[in-house]
Amino acid sequence: MANTNVSIGKTRLEAFSDGILAIVITIMVLELKGPNGSSFDALQNLLPIFLSYVLSFVYLGIYWNNHHHMLHTCKSVTGSILWANLHLLFWLSLVPFTTGWMGQNHFAPMPTLLYGINLLLAAIAYYILQLTIIFSQGSDSILKKAVGRDWKGKVSPFLYITAIIASIRLPILALVIYAFTALIWIVPDKRIERLYQIKER
Amino acid sequence: MANTNVSIGKTRLEAFSDGILAIVITIMVLELKGPNGSSFDALQNLLPIFLSYVLSFVYLGIYWNNHHHMLHTCKSVTGSILWANLHLLFWLSLVPFTTGWMGQNHFAPMPTLLYGINLLLAAIAYYILQLTIIFSQGSDSILKKAVGRDWKGKVSPFLYITAIIASIRLPILALVIYAFTALIWIVPDKRIERLYQIKER
Amino acid sequence: MANTNVSIGKTRLEAFSDGILAIVITIMVLELKGPNGSSFDALQNLLPIFLSYVLSFVYLGIYWNNHHHMLHTCKSVTGSILWANLHLLFWLSLVPFTTGWMGQNHFAPMPTLLYGINLLLAAIAYYILQLTIIFSQGSDSILKKAVGRDWKGKVSPFLYITAIIASIRLPILALVIYAFTALIWIVPDKRIERLYQIKER
Amino acid sequence: MANTNVSIGKTRLEAFSDGILAIVITIMVLELKGPNGSSFDALQNLLPIFLSYVLSFVYLGIYWNNHHHMLHTCKSVTGSILWANLHLLFWLSLVPFTTGWMGQNHFAPMPTLLYGINLLLAAIAYYILQLTIIFSQGSDSILKKAVGRDWKGKVSPFLYITAIIASIRLPILALVIYAFTALIWIVPDKRIERLYQIKER
């Protein structure tokens, strides 16, 4: 029964995280307010908001995806994991705000910079959650083996920082870096999948 | 345990999709803002918004329903399925926006056209998801047998394209086609249900 | 495995319904917009909106509660049940709109009348769902035995219709009837609970 | 099977509560409307709204966390528990409103007072839910043993009342007390975790 108990705790953590991520993704679309006119021109003004939405949708999809793989390796849920997870959800919950501000201002420097800071803080929160789970699993941590050198996790903050600096002078470059970083992550962490399958045999 | 593991992955995919669909359906109602007056006349102006809401509610209900049957046949969740699913959810998440714009503009040509494009892109995304699941299941795919010739899936895009073209001159015809296509789909895919029951005996 | 299959379908139906009900309950609070001033007087104008919120919160709580008990007796989920359930969710999804309009207009006749129509249509949809489940269960339906004469289900529509008529001249009477009907339902259907416990022994 | 039945009821209660809490947490971010300008100064005006958001995010995180531990000890779900739970969710659902009003008015006395009343009523509702579960569990209640003297539960209302009184003259003191009370609770109830682990061995 101890096992059932633990897995229920994990199930609820996953369900709660999924709930928040699903809502965060969906309320972003509330920024896409129908333009006043009914012409095609009226729609064109929404293009930057739409593009910001696409970018953030992909980012939140990546987070959901990786979160899903990461928690898979997690056997028990401790209080520290709960709070590290809430910390990650906090930064992700701000994405609709920073996305909307960036889109509405047609990728002006300051909103593009703030978007990058949001991504950076979410990445740091994800890294803290990863460390917390590895720590709770002890020396034979599946996640530790799976993550390995974790070059994506290590490179991303530098890319975000580069983009944040770039956004002051050249916001378009920042956007290219944000999109590029998303592309790196779109491939799910095959290493976790592989190791997990080996373990289960 | 490998089986449990896979089914948890699928459960989370379903829960996440349900979460997003539930929110998408519900935030559409936020477009129905209470009119300023408290008279019955004030309410009448909301009629086109209400009718758009009904249409989109039915469409999202159909997608939830068919998505539910389709994932039923899915044994394991791969990275490709996760992303094909997110792609479908992306286009469905735009439905509240296109619905609201169409309703607010009393079915003007351009918004009615955009609504059709949204439906078309969602249909294509659904088709891609279907192919991805069939591909992952290999040669003895349950879904492939169940879907069979899939006349609904093949006819719908043509109906949407016809409606999109019609909406430029005759938006009312486009609406009739949208409603008609919804009617075709309301009947759940009996073939999947039937085949599945046979398999399980 | 057939049994697992069926219960997964039911689980997803429950999860989707819970999701929609949870969102419907919560977005109602978006009607409670912070008043412009920061004084206590500014807050008083929100009182009718707050009272409408309380009433609708209780009603949606009742629906969730009874829905929960009703689906408990449901062994298998058919296409008809899925659509009867979506039909119920449709009318419940309109509650935030009718609640907001009634509150903003300080219980004026027409909005109070519309609120009653919404409650009436939701009650009819609930009744249709109940019939659909009983029909699908066949002659030894648990739900049929549990519901018995169903005096609450039969009395409520008459109370709603009385309130709808009353609201034209005396909206305050309509509100009293809405609150009274809610009170009748707050007691969960002990009969279902009792019968179900007997069956499980 | 009786056991499965009970646990499904509990699962749905947890899922519904999680759904509402997830939405309540997330819609708070809708208060953070992108400022009109794209400058850093425009952003600074949002600081009080942001700080209110952080405070309420932490409070709702604490409630989710403790709710999670409390329901863990709950074997069966009665009608009284369902309603005591809905009562708690009602007060928590008002948090986005009181948070938004407090932030928009830069912590003016009246909104800060109302925020405290909201926290107080949620705390009372939590206490009632706790009593209801203990009562339903009978004399060998796990929760009763786990909660023990419950000094946090007893001290919090006094802290809230002190803050409410303080907010009339010195809102900043009220905020310090709100933050301090949150800090007390951030540590999850180790006692429940400990007792539960003993029981399960």
ipTM: 0.84
Average pLDDT on C116-143 reads 87
Q: In Å, how far is C127's CA from the nearest CA of chain B? A: 20
Q: What is the pLDDT of residue A2?
A: 33
Would you tell me how many other CB atoms lie within 10 Å of the CB of residue D66?
Answer: 18
* Helical pair A95-104 and A109-137, crossing angle rounded to 10 deg: 160
Please give the Cα distance from B82 to B79 (Å, whole number): 5
Nearest CA in chain B to C79: B188
Backbone phi and psi for residue C74, each to the nearest 5 degrees, phi listed first:
-90, 120
Tokens of C201: 């022994």
Do D60 and A82 touch, CB atoms closer than 8 A?
no
Kindly indicate the confidence band of residue B85, based on its pLDDT and cuts at 50, 70 and 90. very high
Give the number of residues written for chain B. Answer: 201
Contact yes or no for D23 and C23 at CB 8 A:
yes
pLDDT > 50? residue C59: yes
* Radius of gyration from C-alpha coordinates of chain A: 19
Q: What is the pLDDT of residue C135?
A: 85
Nearest CA in chain D to A90: D57
Q: Which of B28, B38, B54, B200 to mutate: most C Cβ within 10 Å? A: B38
* Helical pair A47-72 and A79-93, crossing angle rounded to 10 deg: 170
Contact yes or no for A34 and B90 at CB 8 A:
no
pLDDT > 50? residue B3: no
Do A88 and A126 touch, CB atoms closer than 8 A?
yes
- Each residue of A30-56: b (16+ CB within 10 Å) or e? bbbebbeebeeebbeebebbbbbbebb
Do B188 and C82 touch, CB atoms closer than 8 A?
yes
Positions of E strands within chain D:
none
Please count the helices (runs of H) and the strands (runs of E) in chain D.
10, 0
Would you tell me how many other CB atoms lie within 10 Å of the CB of residue C41?
Answer: 9
Chain A residues in contact with B105 (beta carbon < 8 A): 34, 38
Q: What is the pLDDT of residue C153?
A: 79
Tokens of D124: 């009372």
Neighbours of chain C (3+ CB pairs under 8 A): B, D
Average pLDDT on C86-102 reads 94
Please give the Cα distance from B37 to B149 (Å, whole number): 53
Please count the helices (runs of H) and the strands (runs of E) in chain A.
10, 0
Q: Which of A7, A21, A29, A36 to mutate: most B Cβ within 10 Å? A: A29
pLDDT > 70? residue C71: yes
Neighbours of chain A (3+ CB pairs under 8 A): B, D
Average pLDDT on A133-147 reads 75
Please report, rounded to a whole number, the percentage of residues in chain C having pLDDT higher than 90: 45
- Put simply, whether D51 touches A (Cβ < 8 Å) is no
A59-70 pLDDT, tens digit each: 999 998 888 878
pLDDT > 80? residue B74: no
Kindly indicate the confidence band of residue B99, based on its pLDDT and cuts at 50, 70 and 90. very high
Please count the helices (runs of H) and the strands (runs of E) in chain B.
10, 0
Contact yes or no for C82 and B188 at CB 8 A:
yes
Q: Which of C24, C80, C101 to mutate: most B Cβ within 10 Å? A: C101
Q: Long-range contacts of range B150-158, CB-CB < 8 Å, 24 or more positions apart?
A: B152/B184, B152/B185, B152/B189, B153/B123, B153/B126, B153/B127, B155/B184, B156/B123, B156/B181, B156/B184, B156/B185, B157/B120, B157/B123, B157/B124
Backbone phi and psi for residue B124, each to the nearest 5 degrees, phi listed first:
-65, -40
Q: Which of A7, A23, A28, A77 to mutate: most D Cβ within 10 Å? A: A23
Contact yes or no for C29 and D30 at CB 8 A:
no
Q: What is the pLDDT of residue D192?
A: 56
Q: What is the pLDDT of residue C44?
A: 84
Q: What is the mean pLDDT of chain B?
A: 83
Give the three-state DSSP class for B37: coil
- Put simply, whether B186 touches A (Cβ < 8 Å) is no
Do B78 and B136 touch, CB atoms closer than 8 A?
yes
Burial class (CB in 10 A: 0-12, 13-18, 19+), B126: buried
Nearest CA in chain B to C85: B61
When mean pLDDT is compared across A183-187, C94-98, D50-54, the lowest value belongs to A183-187
- Put simply, whether B148 touches A (Cβ < 8 Å) is no
Q: What is the pLDDT of residue A88?
A: 96
pLDDT > 70? residue A194: no
- Put simply, whether B155 touches C (Cβ < 8 Å) is no
Of D22, D187, D188, the CB nearest to A19: D22
pLDDT > 50? residue A5: no
Contact yes or no for D187 and A79 at CB 8 A:
yes
Of B30, B186, B196, the CB nearest to C27: B30
Give the three-state DSSP class for B136: helix
- Put simply, whether B111 touches A (Cβ < 8 Å) is yes
- Put simply, whether D38 touches A (Cβ < 8 Å) is yes
Give the three-state DSSP class for A46: coil
pTM of the complete model = 0.87
pLDDT > 60? residue B199: no
Chain D residues in contact with C61 (beta carbon < 8 A): 83, 86
Enumerate residues 6+ apart whose C-beta is below 8 A from C181: C119, C156, C159, C160, C163
- Put simply, whether B68 touches C (Cβ < 8 Å) is yes
* Helical pair D190-200 and A2-27, crossing angle rounded to 10 deg: 140
Please report, rounded to a whole number, the percentage of residues in chain B having pLDDT higher than 70: 85
Please give the Cα distance from B153 to B149 (Å, whole number): 9
- Put simply, whether D33 touches C (Cβ < 8 Å) is no
Kindly indicate the confidence band of residue D99, based on its pLDDT and cuts at 50, 70 and 90. very high
Q: What is the pLDDT of residue A3?
A: 35
B40-59 pLDDT, tens digit each: 787 888 899 999 999 999 99
Please give the helix or strand (H or E) that residue B133 lies within, else none.
helix B109-137
Please report, rounded to a whole number, the percentage of residues in chain B having pLDDT higher than 90: 45
**Of B139 and C109, which is predicted with more confidence?**
C109
Do D96 and D60 touch, CB atoms closer than 8 A?
no
* Helical pair B95-104 and B79-93, crossing angle rounded to 10 deg: 10
Chain B residues in contact with C136 (beta carbon < 8 A): none
Average pLDDT on C61-72 reads 85
Q: What is the mean pLDDT of chain C?
A: 83
**Of D43 and C177, which is predicted with more confidence?**
C177
Please give the Cα distance from A12 to D17 (Å, whole number): 11
Of A19, A100, A108, the CB nearest to D38: A108
**Of D164 and D10, which is predicted with more confidence?**
D164
Kindly indicate the confidence band of residue B1, based on its pLDDT and cuts at 50, 70 and 90. very low
pLDDT > 90? residue A112: yes
A188: left (phi over 0), alpha (psi -120 to 50) or beta: beta
- Domain ranges, ordered by start, for chain C: 2-200
Nearest CA in chain B to A64: B16
Kindly indicate the confidence band of residue B34, based on its pLDDT and cuts at 50, 70 and 90. confident
Kindly indicate the confidence band of residue B86, based on its pLDDT and cuts at 50, 70 and 90. very high
Would you tell me how many other CB atoms lie within 10 Å of the CB of residue A125?
Answer: 20
Q: What is the pLDDT of residue A151?
A: 76
Q: In Å, how far is B100's CA from the nearest CA of chain A? A: 7
Of B12, B89, B93, the CB nearest to A18: B12
Kindly indicate the confidence band of residue B197, based on its pLDDT and cuts at 50, 70 and 90. low
